[in-house]
């Protein structure tokens, strides 16, 4: 059996390497289950699934880091916001009480996912996942918006500007 046909284990499930979409979907499904997305609106699930499906396997595995906590709030100041570093003295940590091991807190407002335009929500997810990935991979690195955007672009599974189906996507403004 050639290496291209070897099956490998993805978080407890054997996936054939010849089906990268299935492999990626397994990682996406795992992240969404960990973050309790099945309990959320179909719109929120769809936005998150679309954005996560843009990522390479390595980025999806990075999002499994126990230092990342995804918190869903009925109302929040922003539709999507990444807080880092998280420690006990930060006001947001005292207010939301994340797990002790949390160093990056990604807050999603369930109410905003019912109101805001989908394109805006997906762009917000891309931006904040870029910040999260950059912090998890290199906590001491500069993490400005331009840095997060570069991290997002380098974590994508297909050329920037196209989605998995090959259709043109609009670029995030810098």
Residue 163, domain member (yes or no): no
DSSP single-letter state for residue 68: E
Q: Which domain holds residue 92?
A: 8-154
Residue 174, domain member (yes or no): no
Q: How many domains does the chain have?
A: 1
Residue 159, domain member (yes or no): no
Residue 166, domain member (yes or no): no
pLDDT per residue rounded down to tens, the chain (174 residues): 333 333 444 444 443 333 344 444 689 999 999 999 999 999 999 999 999 999 999 999 999 999 999 999 998 788 999 999 988 889 999 999 999 999 999 999 999 999 999 999 999 999 999 999 999 999 999 999 999 999 999 999 875 555 544 544 444 443
Residue 121, domain member (yes or no): yes
Residue 160, domain member (yes or no): no
- Scanning 35-173, the segments in alpha helix (DSSP H) are 42-52, 57-62, 91-96, 112-115, 118-137, 145-154
pTM for this one? 0.78
Residue 3, domain member (yes or no): no
Residue 134, domain member (yes or no): yes
In this structure, the number of other CB atoms found within 10 A of the CB of residue 84 comes to 20
- Scanning 10-110, the segments in alpha helix (DSSP H) are 20-34, 42-52, 57-62, 91-96
Q: How far from the centroid of its chain's Cα atoms is residue 148's Cα?
A: 12
């Amino acid at each position: 059996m050639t290496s291209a046909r070897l099956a490998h284990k993805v978080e407890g499930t054997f996936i054939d390497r010849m089906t990268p979409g299935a492999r990626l979907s397994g990682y996406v499904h795992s992240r969404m289950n960990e973050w309790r997305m099945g309990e959320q609106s179909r719109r929120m699930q769809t936005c998150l699934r679309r954005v996560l499906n843009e990522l390479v396997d390595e980025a999806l595995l990075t999002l499994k880091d126990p230092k990342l906590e995804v918190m869903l709030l009925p109302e929040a100041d922003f539709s999507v916001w990444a807080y880092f570093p998280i420690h006990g003295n930060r006001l947001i940590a005292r207010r939301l009480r994340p797990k002790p091991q949390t160093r990056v807190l990604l807050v999603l407002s369930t109410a905003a996912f019912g109101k805001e335009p989908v394109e805006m929500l997906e762009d917000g997810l891309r931006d904040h996942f870029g910040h999260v990935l950059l912090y998890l991979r290199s906590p001491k690195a500069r993490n400005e918006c331009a840095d997060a955007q570069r991290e997002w672009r380098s974590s994508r599974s297909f050329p920037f500007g196209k989605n998995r189906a090959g259709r043109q996507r609009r670029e995030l403004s810098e």
